[in-house]
Structure formats: structure tokens, C-alpha cells
Amino acid sequence: MEIRIKGSQIRFIYNDELTGLMGQGKTEVRRASHVEPCEGGWSADMSPVNGPVLGPYNLRSEALQEEVKWLLDNKIPTPQEINRV
């Protein structure tokens, strides 16, 4: 678990144990990846943070673990804005 503080911003990978931080001011939640079933198992698509597609993994839990590892290794990059239609 890693929490990054920059000025008045607190950034972290969502975890139910950190829900209390969500009430400390204005909150914005953004997806950093998409863990989805794929051919051969599960993948973690890191494209919202300009990253690769990780996998396939046999288990969803493995894909989630690798997703978090990639985010931490890359200093929790900020997801890009998504153009919504």
C-alpha cells in the first residue's frame, strides 16, 4: 500500500482499508486500468495510464496483483482524461 501526497492532493490505489481518506475533502476516483477476462485467462489493460496490457493470467487475482505492482513500480501515474460521449 502506498499513499502519495503532493501539496493538497492525496493519491493512492483504492483499497477498502483506505476508505476513510475519501472523506477528507473533495474526492475524485479514476480508473487506472481495466482487469477483464481475455483469451487465455485475465488481463490488466493499463492504457488509462499510458501503460501496456499485462497478461494473460490464469486467475483474476493474479491480474489484480500485477496491476497494483505495475502502478507502484510506475509511481502511481495519473489516469488520462477520457472523452465521454
pLDDT digits (tens, 9 = 90+) for 28-85: 888 889 999 999 999 999 999 999 999 999 999 999 999 999 999 998 888 875 443 3
How distant is the alpha carbon of residue 43 from its chain centre? 13
Q: How many Å separate Cα 20 from the centre of its chain? A: 18
Report the predicted TM-score, pTM, of the whole model to 2 decimal places.
Answer: 0.78
Query: Which pLDDT score, from 0 to 100, does residue 38 have?
Result: 97
Q: What is the pLDDT of residue 1?
A: 64
* Cβ atoms of 51 and 74 closer than 8 Å: yes
